[in-house]
Amino acid sequence: MSMDVDVIRKDFPIFETPANGKPLTYLDSASSSQKPRQVIDRIVRFYETENANVHRGAYQLSEMATAAYEGAREACGRWIGSPSRNIIFTRGTTESINAVRFTWANQNVGAGDEVLVTEMEHHSNLIPWQLLTQEKGATLRHLPIDDEGLLRMDLLGEYITERTKLVALPLMSNVLGTINPVAEVAAAAHAAGAKVVVDAAQAAPHIKVDVAELDCDFLAYSSHKMCGPTGAGVLYGRIELLEEMPPFMGGGEMIREVWADRATWNEVPFKFEAGTMNIAQAVGMGAAVEYLEALGEDAIRDHEVRLTKYAMGRLEETGAIIYGPKDVSKRGGVVSFNLDDVHPHDLSTIVDQHGVCIRAGHHCAQPLMRRLGVPATARASFYVYNDERDVDVLIDAMAEAKGWFA
Tell the smallest beta-carbon distance from residue 368 to ligand 7TS (Å): 11
**31 scored as a contact of ligand 7TS (CB under 6 A):** yes
Using CB under 6 A, which of 36, 149, 170, 344 touches ligand 7TS? 170
Cα-based angle 60, 61, 66 (whole degrees, multiple of 5): 95
**201 scored as a contact of ligand 7TS (CB under 6 A):** yes
Using CB under 6 A, which of 24, 27, 30, 232 touches ligand 7TS? 30
Tell the smallest beta-carbon distance from residue 94 to ligand 7TS (Å): 3
Using CB under 6 A, which of 25, 133, 164, 222 touches ligand 7TS? 222
Binding piece for ligand 7TS, criterion CB under 6 A, among 79-87, 119-127, 146-154, 390-398: 119-127
Binding piece for ligand 7TS, criterion CB under 6 A, among 88-96, 104-112, 283-291, 387-395: 88-96
What are the DSSP E strand ranges found in 246-405? 255-258, 263-265, 321-322, 334-338, 356-357, 359-361, 377-381
Instruction: State how far the Cα of 398 lies from the Cα of 350, in Å rounded to an integer.
Output: 8
Using CB under 6 A, which of 29, 66, 94, 180 touches ligand 7TS? 94
Q: Which long-range CB contacts under 8 A does 1-9 form with residues at least 24 apart?
A: 1/296, 1/298, 1/299, 1/302, 2/299, 2/302, 2/303, 3/295, 3/299, 3/300, 3/303, 3/384, 5/303, 5/384, 5/385, 5/386, 5/387, 8/295, 8/384, 8/385, 9/385
Nearer to ligand 7TS, 75 or 368 (CB): 368
Residues designated as active site:
364
Binding residues with ligand 7TS: total (CB under 6 A) = 17
Binding piece for ligand 7TS, criterion CB under 6 A, among 90-98, 250-258, 299-307, 391-399: 90-98
Tell the smallest beta-carbon distance from residue 30 to ligand 7TS (Å): 5
Helices (H), 192-337: 211-214, 239-244, 279-295, 297-317
Binding piece for ligand 7TS, criterion CB under 6 A, among 108-116, 128-136, 199-207, 279-287: 199-207
Tell the smallest beta-carbon distance from residue 357 to ligand 7TS (Å): 12
Nearer to ligand 7TS, 65 or 234 (CB): 234
For the beta carbon of residue 170, count every other beta carbon within 10 angstroms: 29
Closest to 80 in 3D by CA, of 192, 219, 195: 219
**In contact, 362 and 379? CB cutoff 8 Å:** no
**336 scored as a contact of ligand 7TS (CB under 6 A):** no
Binding piece for ligand 7TS, criterion CB under 6 A, among 63-71, 127-135, 195-203, 316-324: 195-203
Q: Considering Cα of 86, then 90, then 94, then 99, what sign does the dihedral take?
A: negative
**217 scored as a contact of ligand 7TS (CB under 6 A):** no
**335 scored as a contact of ligand 7TS (CB under 6 A):** no
Nearer to ligand 7TS, 127 or 255 (CB): 127
Helix, strand or coil, per DSSP, at residue 67: helix
Using CB under 6 A, which of 238, 363, 382, 393 touches ligand 7TS? 363
Q: Are strands 164-170 and 195-199 parallel, antiparallel or unpaired?
A: parallel
Nearer to ligand 7TS, 201 or 394 (CB): 201
Closest to 269 in 3D by CA, of 296, 235, 305: 235
**199 scored as a contact of ligand 7TS (CB under 6 A):** yes
**In contact, 282 and 69? CB cutoff 8 Å:** yes
Cα-based angle 155, 161, 164 (whole degrees, multiple of 5): 115
Site for ligand 7TS in 341-360 (CB under 6 A): 359
Binding piece for ligand 7TS, criterion CB under 6 A, among 65-73, 118-126, 207-215, 311-319: 118-126
Instruction: State how far the Cα of 242 lies from the Cα of 313, in Å rounded to an integer.
Output: 46
Sheet (strand 334-338) strand order: 321-322, 334-338, 377-381, 359-361
**202 scored as a contact of ligand 7TS (CB under 6 A):** yes
Residues 6+ apart with CB under 8 A from 316: 322
Return residues touching ligand 7TS (CB under 6 A). Answer: 30-31, 92-94, 122, 124-125, 170, 174, 199, 201-202, 222, 359, 363-364
